Amino acid sequence: MIDPFIYGGKEASVPVTLVSSSSFNRFFNKLNDAQKHWLEQNHFTGKTGQLLAVPAVDGGIEKMVYGVCNLDNYYAIADLPARLPPGVYTLEGTGVKSRLESLAIGWGLGCYQFDRYKKCKAIEARLKLPNSSDHPRIHSMVAACSRARDLINTPAEDMMPQHLSAVVAELAQTYAGVYDEIVGDDLLSANYPSIYTVGRASINQPRLIELNWGDAGNPCVTLVGKGICFDSGGLDIKPAAGMRTMKKDMGGAAQVIGLAQLIMSLELPIRLRVLIPAAENAIAGNSYRPGDVIKTRSGVTVEIDNTDAEGRLVLCDALTEACESKPDLLIDYATLTGAARVAVGTEISAFFCNNRPLAEEVRTAGETVDDPTWELPLHKGYRSLLESHVADTVNSASTPFGGATTAALYLQNFVPDNIPWLHFDIMAWNNRKRAGRPIGGEAMGIRAVYEVLEKRYAAS
């Protein structure tokens, strides 16, 4: 993918005027007669998605006009780069200036293509941004979301725990962070039994990947991401349709890596800690079984009711580890339950939170940056659904109803109430194509959380 942007400079560009149905009349009245005639002939009314080249007297293109519905939407022009002929463009129109940053981010996301295994038709339209715009921020936002998409889209065979680990190691190198990992049998000696147990049947060894970055004196934010590189379901094997997209089961890890990259590249003044429990939930003679009991890192014993509820197992050891250093904020991302998708659909990030102000910040931030979220309840009354006859808890409730809540309640066992904790249960995948959002891996909750962190911690 070519850089979707040109930052300032003298390069000639074609203006794209963004017009909405409501601003159309004002825009139209300012045109000369020939232009008015041209628009009328081409039935251009400013309807959303209408695109028209306005010819110059010399036969070239004087400008493009594009119908948009709502300039406040991050994806308002995300379809444009793929529709415009090769060239350099600038944006203009009523209200555009104040929304340039989010429009540019949408443009950048609209340029995303996953071309690792297939040649794609090149997108050759580039957006020239004025010197006054916040180039690093626009670039980093697009890069972070594209990074998450790439990681998720990459097939499991090429995105196993060792590959995730290499990505984190490289990020640490780029931003002068400290990278560490615990691999395979060492997970047992270092007391991460549930990460080990979920991953032990795979020829790709499980790991706990760690990255630390930033000044020790800054507020500590810990990010934890579910890194199940492929979820076959284990011995409770998934049916074919359910297994088909399970390369995306490291989607939580992908969000955490994208968000960490964003935080580090924009130098947010926090102390960042990233923990990624990475494993393949595979089937072999040494797979863990229903009925087995794991003594987790925290000491809590878990009876395996279902080997397909593996995400919460790798997460519980990582959350215990995270809480040992008492972070100021703890956030995890996971493609944890199908039930969350039934509750809010695939295009909204469900979240759970043990802290009211934080939950409210997430909700408003998600709205502001078009990264929709919805809170689900940590309803204490459902805790009894996780009772086991032989251990402290089961890993999967006795009923599928409220499945996202019971999974979150399981995780809450490993997080003390005095640590503000946010848990995302996400799809990390677009089932359908929308402007700037192709089918496949998707960044979900990255922009919303960055907005929260920036509001809380950025130097003003």
249 vs 451, which CB is nearer to ligand BES?
249
Q: Containing H/E element for 66?
A: strand 61-67
- From the list 47, 83, 238, 456, the catalytic residue is 238
Measured CA to CA, the distance from residue 263 to residue 240 in angstroms comes to 38
Extract the tokens encoding 300.
């809590």
Maximum Cα interatomic distance, the chain, rounded to a whole number of Å? 83
- 394 SS3 class: strand
Ranges within 196-235 binding Zn ion (CB under 5 A): 228, 231
Strand order of the sheet with strand 393-394? 293-295, 301-303, 393-394
From the list 249, 361, 371, 442, which residue makes contact with ligand BES (rule: CB under 6 A)?
A: 249
Least CB distance from residue 374 to ligand BES, whole Å?
16
Kindly write out the interface string for residues 375-414 of this chain, putting x where it contacts ligand BES by CB under 6 A and - elsewhere. ---------------------x------x-----------
Q: State the Cα–Cα distance between residues 272 and 269, nearest whole angstrom.
A: 9
Cross-strand bridge partners of residue 212? 178, 273
End-to-end CA distance of the chain: 34
Name the nearest CA neighbour of 79 among 444, 439, 441, 437.
437
Q: Which is nearer to ligand BES, 350 or 453 (CB)?
A: 350
Q: Which does 278 bind (CB under 5 to 8 A by kind): ligand BES, Zn ion, none?
A: none
The rounded radius of gyration (Å) of the Cα atoms in the chain is 24
**Looking at beta carbons only, is 308 or 442 nearer to Zn ion?**
308
If residue 16 lies in a helix (H) or strand (E), which one and from where to where? strand 14-19
Task: Tell how strand 301-303 and strand 293-295 pair up.
Answer: antiparallel
Question: Closest Cα to residue 257, out of 210, 298, 310, 292?
Answer: 210
**Binding to ligand BES by residue 335, rule CB under 6 A?**
yes
Pairing of strands 51-55, 125-129: unpaired
Q: Which two tokens stand for residue 323?
A: 């809480």
The correct pick among 15, 219, 338, 372 for binding ligand BES (CB under 6 A) is 338
By the rule CB under 6 A, 306 interacts with ligand BES: yes
Q: Which of 312, 341, 363, 437 is catalytic?
A: 312
Using rule CB under 6 A, residue 430 touches ligand BES: no
Residue 210 interacting with ligand BES (CB under 6 A): no
- In the complex, the smallest distance separating the C-beta of residue 188 from ligand BES, rounded to whole angstroms, is 22
Q: Considering the complex, what minimum distance in angstroms separates the CB of residue 242 from Zn ion?
A: 9
Q: What is the smallest separation between the CB atom of 283 and ligand BES, expressed in angstroms?
A: 14
Show the tokens assigned to 299: 């000491």
Q: Is 142 or 148 the residue whose CB approaches ligand BES more closely?
A: 148
Binding partner at 150 among Zn ion, ligand BES, none, C-beta below 5 to 8 Å by kind: none
Has 97 been annotated as catalytic? no
Give the alpha-carbon dihedral of 432, 117, 139, 371, to 10 degrees: 20
164, 339, 411, 449: which one binds ligand BES (CB under 6 A): 339
Q: Residue 338 Cβ, how far from ligand BES at the closest point, in Å?
A: 4
* Residue 126 annotated as catalytic: no
309 binds ligand BES, rule: CB under 6 A:
yes
- Which residues from 136-175 bind ligand BES, rule CB under 6 A? none
Count Cβ atoms below 10 Å from residue 145 Cβ, excluding itself.
28
The DSSP output letter for 59 is: S
Interface residues with Zn ion (CB under 5 A)? 228, 231, 249, 308, 310-311
Interface residues with ligand BES (CB under 6 A)? 231, 249, 306, 308-311, 335-339, 341, 396, 403, 427
Catalytic residues: 238, 312
